[in-house]
Amino acid sequence: MKNILVTGGCGFIGSNFIRYLLSLPGFNSTIINVDKLTYAGNPDNLADIDKSFPERYIFVQSDICDMESMTGVFETYEIDAVCHFAAESHVDRSIVEPGAFLNTNVMGTFNLLELSRKHKDRMVLFHHISTDEVFGSLDDKGLFSETTPYDPSSPYSASKAASDHMVRAYHRTYGFPVTISNCSNNYGPYQFPEKLIPLMITNAKAGKPLPVYGQGHNIRDWVYVEDHCKAVWKIMKGGRHGETYNVGGRCEMRNIDVVNILCDTMDRVDPPADGRSRRDLINFVKDRPGHDYRYAIDCTKLQNELDWIPEESFKTGIEKTIRWYLKNEPWVRRVQTGEYRNWIKQQYEDRERAE
C-alpha cells in the first residue's frame, strides 16, 4: 500500500486513524485524505499533521459523490488502497433528513467501488468502515457476530447496510480485494459534540442540561477510538479478503450509567464552581424514534485471527476524553461557534477567484 486514500479523514474516527498511522514506526505510505468538509469535517483536527508531514499527508477537499473529481484523485495520486470512513454518521440527523445519507453513504461508496474496479490492476485493498447498527437491536441476551442477519432500524443504519452489501457484491462479482469492519460506539478526542459523550462533556462544562433520551436504559458497547484505529489497521494488513470483522469494546453500558460516570469524573477532575454535582443537570427527554435498545459485539473473530483486543477501559478512556475536551477548549469553542467553517468558506472563495 503505497498511496492510501482515506475518505472522511477530517471527521472524528478518520482523523484519529490518520494520526495513528503517521505515528507508527516504519509506516512510510502516503495518505491522501479526501473530505468534503461537511459540518462534521473539521480541518482543525489535522492542522498539526498537515504541517508535520508535508510529503506524506495530502488533503483534497472533494465530495466522494463527485465522480469527476474522484476520478482525478485516483489518477493523480495513483491510489492503490482505500480506507473508506466518509459518511453521514449521526442517527438523529438521518431521521430528520435522510437524503444526504443515501447520497453519501450509498452512492458515494458506489463511486469509490467503481473507481477502484477501474484501477483493479493496482488495487491492493478496499477497506470499508461500517457499524454494528446494521444488525438492528438486541434484547437483553446475545451478541452480534459476523453472521448475524442485517436488520437496520434507522435511515442511517439502512444506508450503511446498503453500502456493506455493495462492497461484498464487488468482491463476489469482480473478485475485488475488500475487507469490512463493523464497529460499536466510539468515543475519544475530536468527536463532534452532537454524539452522546462529547455533547454531555461540553454541556456539563457549560452548566447546560444533559438530555438523556427516554429513561436512559438503552445499552451501547463503547470502544475507545484508538482501539478502533488499531483494529482497522490490523484488518487492512492481515484480514482475509471478502471477510467482515466485528470490532467492539466489550464494554456494554446503559446510557444513564455512562452519563452518571461522566458527571462524577468531571466533578472530580474539574470541580464545579457552585459545588453542585453535574448529575443535577441530567434531563430525561422524549425518546428517539425507532431507538435501538441494545448493541453488543462479539469480537472473537478479530481476536483469534488478528490478535486484537480493546486495550482501553471505560474508566481510563472517559477520563482521558474528558481531559482532552477540557484542555482543548479553543477547539470546542471553534466547533460550537462554527468558526472552524470560516476556513472552509475561505477555500471556496479562493477557488472561485481562481476560476
What residues line the site for ligand NAD (CB under 6 A)? 7-8, 10-14, 34-38, 40-41, 63-65, 85-89, 104, 108, 129, 131, 160, 183, 185-186, 192
- Within residues 276-335, the interface with ligand DAU by CB under 6 A covers 288, 295
C-alpha 197: how far from chain center: 14
Q: Tell whether residue 39 is a contact of ligand DAU (CB under 6 A).
A: no
Q: Tell whether residue 132 is a contact of ligand DAU (CB under 6 A).
A: yes
Exposed/middle/buried for residue 17 (C-beta within 10 Å: 0-12, 13-18, 19+)? buried
Residue 78 DSSP symbol? T
The full DSSP string for 114-162 is HHHHHTTTT--EEEEEEEGGGG--B-SS--B-TTSPP---SHHHHHHHH
312 labelled catalytic: no
226 labelled catalytic: no
Q: Tell whether residue 131 is a contact of ligand DAU (CB under 6 A).
A: yes
Label the pairing between strands 252-254 and 219-224: antiparallel
Exposed/middle/buried for residue 101 (C-beta within 10 Å: 0-12, 13-18, 19+)? buried
Cell numbers standing for residue 102: 443515501
Which residue among the candidates 63, 80, 132, 227 is catalytic per the annotation? 132
Cell numbers standing for residue 307: 490478535
User: Among 37, 91, 106, 178, which residue interacts with ligand DAU (rule: CB under 6 A)?
Assistant: 91
Q: Tell whether residue 195 is a contact of ligand DAU (CB under 6 A).
A: yes
Closest approach of ligand DAU to the CB of residue 92, in Å: 6
Closest approach of ligand DAU to the CB of residue 285, in Å: 7
Q: Tell whether residue 242 is a contact of ligand DAU (CB under 6 A).
A: no
CA atoms of 58 and 344, how far apart (whole Å)? 16
* Residue 255 binding target from ligand NAD, ligand DAU, none, CB below 5 to 8 Å by type: ligand DAU
Question: Across the strands, what pairs with 179?
Answer: 127, 243
Indicate which residues carry an active-site annotation.
132-133, 156
Give me the residues that bind ligand DAU (CB under 6 A), please.
89-91, 131-133, 184-185, 195-196, 199, 211-213, 218, 220, 255, 288, 295
